[in-house]
């Protein structure tokens, strides 16, 4: 996946600043991403691009992303007529895409496409409906052999947990 090359390089999301106290050069790590920057990292496009922006990013550890849920999304036509509810599988996919931001930028991992390898302990706590702002947090638990990863993910709306679970990923060639 060549789209990862541009953002994944060390020069792209880390710049330098000079400390006024000691004059040393300190790296500044990018902590937010716009939708355009997310599209450079992830292959997903409409209607499956489910992250509008990243509001907090800690390299190699976690990311927090936002999905603004709107009535215009295609799945609401049939899920459910008269009572639109975001499908649970799309909530899980949105959490995984936030996790993809962390995985796509790991320093010692080859670039490629991360895909689901498993989904465990997922629970849905409340419905997600048009007008909601879904705040998703993913934390990296481990990476093995630079090809397999596991993350703890959660999604909330207005401070209430909507979904949580463990997501496993595998790098595909």
Annotated active-site residue 79? The verdict is yes
Among 30, 44, 79, 126, the active-site one is 79
| 47-56 contacts, C-beta under 8 A, 24 or more apart | 47/73, 47/74, 47/75, 48/93, 49/97, 50/90, 50/93, 50/94, 50/97, 51/94, 51/97, 51/98, 51/101, 51/136, 54/98, 54/101, 55/135, 56/31, 56/32
Catalytic machinery residues: 79
């Amino acid at each position: 996946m060549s789209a990862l090359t541009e953002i994944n390089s060390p020069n792209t999301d880390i710049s330098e600043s000079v400390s006024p106290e000691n004059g040393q050069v300190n790296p500044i790590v990018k902590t937010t991403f716009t939708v355009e920057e997310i599209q450079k990292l992830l292959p997903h496009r409409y209607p499956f691009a489910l992250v509008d922006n990243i509001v907090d990013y800690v390299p190699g550890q976690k990311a927090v992303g936002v999905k603004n849920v709107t009535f215009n999304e295609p799945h609401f036509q049939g899920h459910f007529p008269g009572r639109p509810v975001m499908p649970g599988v799309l909530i899980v996919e949105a959490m995984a895409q936030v996790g993809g931001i962390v995985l796509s930028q790991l320093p010692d991992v080859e670039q490629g496409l991360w895909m689901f390898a498993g989904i465990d302990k997922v629970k849905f706590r409340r419905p997600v409906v048009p007008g909601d702002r879904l705040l998703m947090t993913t934390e990296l638990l481990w990476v093995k052999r630079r090809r397999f990863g596991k993350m703890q993910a959660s999604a909330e709306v207005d401070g209430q947990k909507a979904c949580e679970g463990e997501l496993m990923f595998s790098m595909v060639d």
